[in-house]
């Protein structure tokens, strides 16, 4: 599938999505958000894809937010549609049944920070900067930033960053638990691929079950403990469970088929 605002590639079970508006700091305009959803759908539907990595073109920006020039003239009704659409797509990333890693290679501001936070894991290069600078524009985050930042770093620090618009450097992001790892820029994709390779060796069924159960923690309408009991018992009817336990007992490496 060809895109105007993204570069995509599929290699060794990893589908990579590169946000590609370098002259605009990879700002997320409406076209890009729509293409992001199409790329995600393609990755989700492909049996060959075991994981997704989202990054930005160049070494300056992951994404410097929603496109300010595009929404500057919006009124409330258009802004509501923009936010609803963004929420829907970022929820799709968060609820994806394949792991999604944000490889944060520079500024992840506003919608860029929100996009990174909707991914299951974040790996940052040493010069990455996170932040929700919307208040400087007289607006608040609209793609989930007020909620996900609190989840990751707690109410007090999240409130501070949301109100001051201060940027969070990679080291602080690591300390606060916003990112999983910080790497040198040239090691960023290598680290992401290393994690994906480990996950790819597991049963795709259990990967989906773990992601669903973790996601349930954040949904008031689902009892995550109940879901875990259900999914745990479901494992016992699968070939992959038989393969995993047999391989352990026979002292060999398992070969999972996803059935």
Active site residues: 114, 134
Dist CA 78 CA 114 (whole Å): 20
The CB density around residue 258, as the number of other CB atoms within 10 Å, is: 14
Of these, 17, 19, 39, 66, which contacts ligand COA (CB under 6 A)? 66
DSSP assignment, residue 130? E
Dist CA 153 CA 157 (whole Å): 6
Total of residues contacting ligand COA (CB under 6 A): 16
Strands, sheet with 129-131, edge to edge from the N-terminal-most edge strand: 61-63, 107-109, 129-131, 168-169
35 near ligand COA (CB under 6 A): no
Helix (H) or strand (E) holding 51: strand 51-56
Of these, 3, 24, 44, 97, which contacts ligand COA (CB under 6 A)? 24
Of these, 86, 133, 204, 244, which contacts ligand COA (CB under 6 A)? 133
27 near ligand COA (CB under 6 A): yes
**Beta strand pairing call for 129-131 and 168-169:** antiparallel
Q: Tokens in use for 140?
A: 């608040």
Which C-beta is closer to ligand COA: that of 99 or that of 111?
A: 111
56 near ligand COA (CB under 6 A): no
**Beta strand pairing call for 129-131 and 107-109:** parallel
Cβ atoms of residues 43 and 6 within 8 Å: no
134 near ligand COA (CB under 6 A): yes
Which C-beta is closer to ligand COA: that of 24 or that of 92?
A: 24
Q: Pattern of binders to ligand COA over 140-179, x per CB under 6 A? A: ----------------------------------------
Which C-beta is closer to ligand COA: that of 72 or that of 249?
A: 72
Which C-beta is closer to ligand COA: that of 67 or that of 215?
A: 67
Q: Where does residue 198 fall: left (phi above 0), alpha (psi -120 to 50 degrees), or beta otherwise?
A: alpha
| Site for ligand COA, rule CB under 6 A | 24-25, 27, 64-69, 107, 109-111, 133-134, 137
């Amino acid at each position: 599938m060809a895109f105007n605002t993204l570069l995509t590639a599929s290699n060794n079970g990893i589908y990579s999505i590169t946000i590609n508006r370098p002259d605009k700091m990879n700002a997320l305009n409406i076209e890009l958000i729509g293409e992001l959803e199409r790329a995600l759908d393609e990755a989700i539907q492909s049996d060959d894809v075991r994981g997704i990595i989202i990054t930005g073109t160049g070494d300056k920006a992951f994404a410097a937010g929603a496109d300010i020039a595009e929404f500057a003239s919006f009124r409330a009704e258009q802004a509501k549609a923009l936010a609803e659409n963004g929420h829907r797509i970022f929820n799709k990333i968060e609820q994806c049944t394949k792991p999604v890693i944000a490889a944060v290679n520079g500024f992840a501001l506003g919608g860029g920070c929100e996009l990174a936070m909707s991914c299951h894991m974040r790996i940052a290069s040493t010069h990455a900067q996170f932040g929700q600078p919307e208040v400087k524009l007289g607006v608040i985050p609209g793609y989930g930033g007020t909620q996900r930042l609190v989840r990751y770093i707690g109410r007090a620090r999240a409130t501070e960053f949301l109100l001051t618009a201060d940027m969070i450097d990679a080291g602080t992001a690591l300390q606060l638990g916003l990112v999983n790892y910080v790497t040198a820029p040239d090691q960023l994709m290598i680290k992401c691929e290393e994690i994906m390779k480990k996950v790819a060796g597991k049963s795709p069924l259990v990967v989906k079950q773990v992601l669903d159960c973790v996601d349930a923690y954040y949904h008031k309408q689902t009892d995550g403990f109940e879901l875990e009991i259900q999914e745990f018992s479901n494992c016992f009817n699968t070939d992959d469970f038989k393969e995993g336990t047999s391989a352990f007992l026979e002292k060999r490496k398992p070969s999972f088929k996803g059935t």
